[in-house]
């Protein structure tokens, strides 16, 4: 069943895989903070061959608008290397297809759709290809004949090492005249490679009573990765991964976490990175993890020195991480 999002989300075209077939959930999925409390549910409570309620296999039509429409993730097709410009080495481009079908007996305007795909144990977000001409049609209202359908293709980029990993796809479907999308979740395995080994960065949880967590470790449902630096001089850019795990059987509206990045022993505020404005955000499927890369400017004098990162959730709760820059 689709789920209504409680807060308005931006329409973000990201996402996905090649022809997704069947589900192969990773046994290395988040153990959350199982070391901090024995009452915390596991991130993946079901066997690896069974999907949680609310997530279906690709090819399964899901109703939208009380059954007035169905939305189906048909699958993903790998593109030839020369077909999509700007694909980095070690990655491949794919075309993701979503079919929106009119179940009514009259012409109607199809819901707008946005696709987000997250792969692997940490749910890293796939990127949209530079050549996005295939997705431009979704910006215009599309009329669909009675019992007809429309296909929407989105070009995406995935690293080649993602082959064999589970991919969770979120489709946000927003009907005409409505602000809130309905959330649809599909999951399968990215074909084209051998079965993937467990993610070496799978969540391990934070030690009990730890007030400050090293970068790269989990504290509760949040993980902040180590900071890497690229560029030179004033153009130095720091990057880190923000991960949030959803331990419930209901969707989360998104990562929803603001990062305050403080450098040096004096804790100079280098950046404040907010969801939506500072990084792309989208709903997180039940019992799944989402990871987004966050970038910020790094002062030259801060490279190699200490960094403190405060992760602040929507309710104001803070978790503090510490490490070094670079």
Average pLDDT over residues 289-305: 92
142 exposed, middle or buried (CB, 10 Å; 0-12, 13-18, 19+)? middle
In this structure, are 12 and 152 located in the same domain?
yes
Give the pLDDT band of residue 6 (cuts 50, 70, 90): very low
Find out whether 70 and 32 touch, Cβ atoms under 8 Å. Answer: no
Domain-ending residue, one of 119, 154, 189: 189
Tell me whether residue 196 is in a domain.
Answer: no
In this structure, are 262 and 183 located in the same domain?
no
pLDDT exceeds 80 at position 109 = yes
In this structure, are 162 and 238 located in the same domain?
no
Predicted TM-score (pTM) above 0.95: no
Tell me whether residue 164 is in a domain.
Answer: yes
Domain-ending residue, one of 139, 155, 189: 189
Tell me whether residue 247 is in a domain.
Answer: yes
Measured distance CA(238)–CA(303) in Å, rounded = 9
What confidence score (pLDDT) does residue 74 get? Answer: 86
Give the pLDDT band of residue 128 (cuts 50, 70, 90): confident
In this structure, are 95 and 233 located in the same domain?
no
In this structure, are 252 and 180 located in the same domain?
no
Tell me whether residue 203 is in a domain.
Answer: no
Tell me whether residue 207 is in a domain.
Answer: no
What confidence score (pLDDT) does residue 2 get? Answer: 61
What confidence score (pLDDT) does residue 131 get? Answer: 59
In this structure, are 143 and 7 located in the same domain?
yes
pLDDT exceeds 80 at position 295 = yes
145-160 pLDDT, tens per residue?
999 999 999 888 999 9
Q: State the total domains in the chain.
A: 2
In this structure, are 15 and 152 located in the same domain?
yes
What confidence score (pLDDT) does residue 49 get? Answer: 61
In this structure, are 219 and 141 located in the same domain?
no
Q: Which two tokens stand for residue 250?
A: 């209901």
In this structure, are 316 and 229 located in the same domain?
yes
Tell me whether residue 25 is in a domain.
Answer: yes
What confidence score (pLDDT) does residue 100 get? Answer: 97
In this structure, are 30 and 165 located in the same domain?
yes
What confidence score (pLDDT) does residue 325 get? Answer: 94
Domain encompassing residue 224: 212-324
What confidence score (pLDDT) does residue 26 get? Answer: 38
Give the pLDDT band of residue 113 (cuts 50, 70, 90): very high
Find out whether 123 and 25 touch, Cβ atoms under 8 Å. Answer: no
In this structure, are 142 and 233 located in the same domain?
no
Tell me whether residue 202 is in a domain.
Answer: no
Q: Mean pLDDT of all residues in the chain? A: 81
What confidence score (pLDDT) does residue 280 get? Answer: 85
159-196 pLDDT, tens per residue?
999 988 888 999 999 999 999 999 999 998 887 766 55
In this structure, are 308 and 165 located in the same domain?
no
Measured distance CA(71)–CA(77) in Å, rounded = 18
We report the CATH number of the domain holding residue 277 as 2.60.40.1240
Tell me whether residue 205 is in a domain.
Answer: no
Give whole-number Cα distances, 311 to 158, 271, 321, in Å: 28, 12, 8
Measured distance CA(141)–CA(108) in Å, rounded = 10
């Amino acid at each position: 069943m689709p789920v209504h999002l409680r807060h308005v989300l931006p329409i973000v075209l990201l996402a996905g895989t090649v022809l997704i077939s069947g589900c192969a959930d990773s046994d290395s999925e988040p153990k959350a903070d199982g070391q901090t409390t024995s009452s915390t549910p596991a991130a993946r409570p079901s066997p690896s061959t069974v999907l949680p309620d609310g997530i279906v296999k690709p090819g399964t039509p899901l109703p939208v608008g009380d059954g007035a429409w169905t939305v189906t993730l048909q699958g993903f097709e790998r593109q030839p290397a020369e077909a999509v410009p700007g694909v980095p080495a070690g990655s491949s481009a794919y075309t993701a297809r979503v079919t929106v079908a009119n179940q009514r007996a009259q012409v109607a305007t199809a819901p707008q759709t946005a696709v987000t795909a997250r792969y692997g144990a940490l749910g890293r977000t796939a990127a949209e290809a530079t050549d996005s001409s295939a997705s431009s049609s979704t910006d215009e209202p599309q009329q669909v004949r009675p019992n007809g359908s429309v296909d929407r293709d989105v070009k995406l980029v995935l690293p080649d090492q993602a082959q064999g990993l589970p991919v969770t796809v979120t489709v946000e479907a927003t009907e005409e005249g409505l602000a809130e999308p309905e959330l649809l979740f599909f999951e399968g395995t990215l074909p084209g490679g051998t079965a993937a080994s467990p993610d070496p960065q799978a969540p391990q949880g934070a030690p009990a009573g730890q007030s400050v967590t090293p970068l790269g470790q989990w504290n509760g449902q949040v993980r902040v990765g180590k900071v890497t630096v690229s560029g030179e001089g004033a153009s130095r850019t720091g990057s880190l991964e923000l991960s949030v795990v959803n331990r419930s059987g209901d969707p989360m509206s998104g990562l929803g976490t603001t990062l305050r990045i403080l450098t040096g022993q004096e804790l100079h505020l280098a950046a404040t990175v907010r969801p939506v404005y500072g990084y792309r955000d989208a709903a997180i499927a039940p019992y799944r993890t989402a990871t987004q890369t966050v970038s910020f400017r790094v002062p030259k004098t801060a490279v190699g020195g200490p960094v403190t990162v405060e992760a602040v959730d929507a309710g104001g709760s803070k978790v503090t991480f510490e490490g070094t820059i670079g």
